[in-house]
Structure 1
Amino acid sequence: MSTAKIGLLSLTALVFSSMVGSGVFSLPQNMAAVANGQALLMAWLITGVGILFLAFALLFLTRQRPDLDGGIYNYAREGFGELIGFCSAWGYWLCTTIGIVGYVVIAFSGVGLFTDSPEHVYFGEGNTLYALIGSSIFVWIVHWLVSQGIKEAALVNLIATIAKIVPLVIFIACSFIAFKLDLFKLNLIDFTLQVPVWEQVRNLMLITLWVFTGIEGAVVLSSRAKNRQDIGRATVLGVLLALSFYVMVTVLAYGVTGRAEIANMHNPSMATILEQLIGLPGTIIITLGLIISVSSSYLSWTLFATEIPFLAAKNKAFPSIFLKTNQNGVPIASLWLTSIVVQISLIAVCFFDKNYTQLLLISSVMILLPYFLVSAFYLKESVKHKRSKHIWIAAVAVIYAAWLLYAAGVSLLLLSGCLYLLGLLVFFYSRFTHKKVVFD
């Protein structure tokens, strides 16, 4: 129950945990449904280069501008003004808060595997009354945990992160042993999709983006870091670790089962593949891993969602109430806002599941703008100070971020734009309330 700082290991675990949630367990099916092995390798090459350069952008910015904490917001604000900074903070907060609801839903859907039967469905797809009660209890336990201190919550996340790596290692080891090179070669040149390879790569890009969302975790919590040098290191280490797991899980799967068969599997597809290799224990291992994984990811994202409104309120972009902290130094008003929004969303999931799915998709696209603004600010700083080495690194990061915006498609970008317009009401209200506080 203190305000002690977070070390390199815990920061790295936060970055890794925020990226590796539920997505990795469904990744083989998600990718096999839209791409053959050739497109898969090309997509990972592009994503690997792009995401590493984005990580380097975050690393170098933490060293070049140590005066700016909570980079997702403050980099955009410093580089492009108060309004753009707010948009970055608003989009990021909305994406994280609505997005983490999916983690709780998936976790209780996994619990249903052990409790449900054809005669008695308790948790179903995570949207039943029992799931609502269980997930609500979970949300407020995490609320209490975070309120005890950021470092304490980060330590719990570190333990959970180590636990969720175990099923991934088991899957990779079993798939490696069962890997058939001839089968992989067939999947490599599988043209049954009848879609051009470049379009397959484009379809994969947004999938690869979602599994790397959270790369900025250490930067968001930069003010809580024990050593500022650890912020950039944790970012790069977390990305390298996640990238390694993602590539191995998907590439090895293409050497174990045919692409079309993987594409038709129910998710989490890793469970189905591992069950084919070692029997029923495979499903149990992956399902338990999924529950642990999404629970720790929920904790990580709650920390991020709590920090952003607090940082934005410091610069009058969010209402002044979000400046309030408790005795443990936790932004308690931000935490309450996040938990309440999650609770309302869970109730909506129980009664209006289809509407939530669409909203989740739109809100996820909103994180693309903050990523683009971080890269653009790094490029602007590099050009301003004539740092030739950094200019080309920043240029690659900007191109990758712009490519992601293109891959998202016009319709989703326009719909997410509506949520940004809604955020303007919050921005102008915030400016008004801060002025009122000064005058009072």
Structure 2
Amino acid sequence: MTEAETARGADASPRPAKLSLPTLTAMVVGSMVGAGVFSLPSRFAEETGVAGALIAWSIAGVGMLMLALVFQTLAVRRPDLDAGVYAYAKAGFGEYLGFFSAFGYWASACVGNVTYWVLIMSTVGAVVPALGEGDTVLALVLSSIGLWGFFLLIRRGVKEAAAINRIVTVAKVVPILVFIVLALFYFKADVFAENFAGADYAGSLFSQVRGTMLATVFVFLGVEGASVYSRHAKRREDVGRATILGFLSVFAVFASVTIVSYGIMPMSEIAELRQPSMAGVLEHAVGTWGKVFVSVGLIVSVLGAYLAWTLMAAEVLFVAAKDDDMPRFLRRATPADVPVPALLMSSLLSQVVLVVTLFSEDAFNFALNLTSSLSLIPYLLAAAFAAKIAWPRRPPEAGPRRGRTGELAVGVLATVYTAFLLFAAGLKFVLVSFILYAPATVLFVMARREQNRRLFSPREVVILIVSVAGAVMGLVALAAGWIHL
């Protein structure tokens, strides 16, 4: 970093790059349309048939719509809060939980980026066996090269990276829409009917629906993308509009990809497909060219999503540092508005998780489920904050009374939905999440010491004890073999 860049750091705030409604919407769509959609057919077929899938998408659609409305409401009610998820948790429940929200959201983004590299390598692995399913040493080396290549690209500037993301978003949606149209053309009603109730290996309808919940969370991660980047919006109201437009568009695509696949081949065969399973489904319908077509679309899609998520991950650390909730070195930015230290930390965590995937039984699904689990605490706190400021006895900053009842209903429903997702995730991934959360407190302590403040309040000590206890339980469970990566 040059002396000029350093000087721009702690004492000077770079002028944020301003983004329009189409660009913000592209950030939302680009964040959600990534690796997840290409894995949906087999992820759902492993758990449920058509009936369970319809119920799961109905629950996920309503629940995530409530979350989207939460971010839209908060963007209007609390325009003073930037960086979305993190800022809402801090304003509603204190600095320590706000810190956990920032760290969890950031870690979720970094782990999610690992799924992109694993899926790319798995896709190419169908042609180059040495790459396996994205979990070999060669795959790790190539993924690492790509990871640091993107670091250098984004370091050039947020404005340039956001413009690239807008172009890539259009390019990657086209293959997915083509898949849906072709699947409808080759749709077999008898196959669809046989898949309706589910296969013999599926359990009760409730367990089937529960088994798909983390997959739906993963594909919808990024619904808050415009909120996270709210400080860059030309107009504040565009944040909420971009969130709803992006969500509705992507929801229709995701649900369609899942349901039409049940009309192409038996769900037991879909469940056995290697990732990306969408390629295998289309290959069954139209031949080898369908697999190639989807594979190329996947690589474009994943690289675009990786770009958006890396931007958002760095943004969260940067804003948290500016609010004195992260160490000061993370608030440094270049004249091009790039928070380089935060970007570097994001790349380093992704690199560490890439190495961990070498020891995982199923690298892709492990990273996917961990990504979803890490995001649930930040989502839960944001939803609860929306309910809190809409409550009848609200603080003065909550704004006018008009429309408060509807906002309260949205906040409560979003809170209940995210709480159910924590239950659906199961104890395994909650404990693994604590293993990441607890050590992160070191960053919180560093920030407090820089400000010569008391490290923990009595309430924060209780939260610390809970997080450390969860981390210890997670480590013991891993060591004893009770849970596996």
Judge same fold: TM > 0.5, yes or no: yes
What does residue 462 of structure 2 align with?
none
Task: Give 1:410 deviation, angstroms.
Answer: 2.3
Q: Is the 8 A contact 1:35 1:193 kept in 2?
A: no
What does residue 86 of structure 2 align with?
73
Matched, 1:400 2:417: yes
What does residue 91 of structure 1 align with?
104
The CA deviation string for residues 414-438 of structure 1, in whole angstroms up to 9 with x for no partner, is 33223222122221122112339xx
The CA deviation string for residues 157-206 of structure 1, in whole angstroms up to 9 with x for no partner, is 11111111121111111111112333322221345235111111111112
Identical pairs, percent = 40
Q: Which moved more, 1:425-434 or 1:370-379?
A: 425-434
Matched, 1:52 2:52: no
Q: Distance in 1 between matches of 2:182 and 2:428?
A: 41
Q: Which moved more, 1:137-146 or 1:60-69?
A: 137-146
Change (3 A) 1:194 1:89: closer
The CA deviation string for residues 112-159 of structure 1, in whole angstroms up to 9 with x for no partner, is 344x26xxx3x3333445434433332233212212221210111111
Q: Distance in 1 between matches of 2:202 and 2:310?
A: 42
Residue aligned with 2:220, SS: coil
The CA deviation string for residues 385-432 of structure 1, in whole angstroms up to 9 with x for no partner, is 551121111111111111111111123223322322212222112211
Q: Distance in 1 between matches of 2:451 and 2:112?
A: 29
Matched, 1:10 2:23: yes
What does residue 139 of structure 1 align with?
147
Q: Distance in 2 between matches of 1:311 and 1:182?
A: 54
Q: Which runs of 5+ in 2 are unaligned?
A: 1-13, 454-485
Whichever residue aligns with residue 258 of structure 1, its letter is P
Q: Is the 8 A contact 1:218 1:234 kept in 2?
A: yes
Q: Is the 8 A contact 1:73 1:88 kept in 2?
A: yes
Q: Distance in 2 between matches of 1:107 and 1:184?
A: 29
Whichever residue aligns with residue 287 of structure 2, its letter is G
Matched, 1:25 2:42: no
Change (3 A) 1:126 1:198: closer
Q: Distance in 2 between matches of 1:272 and 1:149?
A: 38
Q: Distance in 2 between matches of 1:285 and 1:331?
A: 36
Give the alignment partner of residue 389 of structure 1, picking from 372, 385, 406. Answer: 406
Q: Is the 8 A contact 2:50 2:196 kept in 1?
A: yes
Q: Which runs of 5+ in 1 are unaligned?
A: none
Q: Distance in 2 between matches of 1:423 and 1:131?
A: 28
Give the alignment partner of residue 266 of structure 1, picking from 258, 274, 277. Answer: 274
Q: Distance in 2 between matches of 1:83 and 1:272?
A: 46
Task: Give 1:69 deviation, angstroms.
Answer: 0.4
Change (3 A) 1:194 1:128: closer
Whichever residue aligns with residue 37 of structure 1, its letter is V
Change (3 A) 1:147 1:201: same
What does residue 450 of structure 2 align with?
433
Q: Is the 8 A contact 1:3 1:150 kept in 2?
A: no
Q: Distance in 1 between matches of 2:202 and 2:213?
A: 19
Whichever residue aligns with residue 193 of structure 2, its letter is K
Q: Is the 8 A contact 1:70 1:308 kept in 2?
A: yes
Q: Is the 8 A contact 1:38 1:189 kept in 2?
A: yes
Residue aligned with 1:330, SS: coil
Task: Give 1:353 deviation, angstroms.
Answer: 4.8
What does residue 293 of structure 2 align with?
285
Q: Distance in 1 between matches of 2:413 and 2:372?
A: 23
Whichever residue aligns with residue 65 of structure 1, its letter is R
Give the alignment partner of residue 378 of structure 2, picking from 370, 373, 379. Answer: 370
Instruction: Give RMSD over aligned pairs.
Output: 2.1
Task: Give 1:363 deviation, angstroms.
Answer: 5.0
Whichever residue aligns with residue 341 of structure 2, its letter is A
Residues 245-394 of structure 1 correspond to what in structure 2 (within 5 A)?
Answer: 245-349=253-357, 352-353=359-360, 361-362=369-370, 364-383=372-391, 384=394, 386=401, 387-394=404-411
Task: Give 1:2 deviation, angstroms.
Answer: 8.8
Residue aligned with 1:367, SS: helix
Q: Distance in 1 between matches of 2:156 and 2:16?
A: 9
The CA deviation string for residues 288-310 of structure 1, in whole angstroms up to 9 with x for no partner, is 11111111111111001110111
Task: Give 1:61 deviation, angstroms.
Answer: 0.6
Q: Which moved more, 1:57-66 or 1:184-193?
A: 184-193
Change (3 A) 1:22 1:140: same
Change (3 A) 1:245 1:132: same
Change (3 A) 1:416 1:194: closer
Q: Distance in 2 between matches of 1:178 and 1:354?
A: 35
Residue aligned with 1:214, SS: coil
Change (3 A) 1:130 1:416: closer
Q: Is the 8 A contact 1:183 1:256 kept in 2?
A: yes
Residue aligned with 1:218, SS: helix
Q: Distance in 2 between matches of 1:363 and 1:179?
A: 33
Whichever residue aligns with residue 421 of structure 1, its letter is A
Q: Is the 8 A contact 1:221 1:304 kept in 2?
A: yes
Residue aligned with 1:211, SS: helix
Matched, 1:177 2:194: no
Q: Distance in 1 between matches of 2:325 and 2:423?
A: 28
Change (3 A) 1:347 1:257: closer
Q: Distance in 1 between matches of 2:369 and 2:406?
A: 36
Matched, 1:243 2:251: yes
Q: Is the 8 A contact 1:319 1:434 kept in 2?
A: no
Q: Is the 8 A contact 1:320 1:434 kept in 2?
A: no
Change (3 A) 1:359 1:29: closer
Change (3 A) 1:201 1:222: same
What does residue 473 of structure 2 align with?
none
The CA deviation string for residues 294-338 of structure 1, in whole angstroms up to 9 with x for no partner, is 111111110011101111111211100011110101111111221
Paired residues in the alignment total: 430
The CA deviation string for residues 24-43 of structure 1, in whole angstroms up to 9 with x for no partner, is 11211110111011111111
Q: Distance in 2 between matches of 1:186 and 1:35?
A: 12
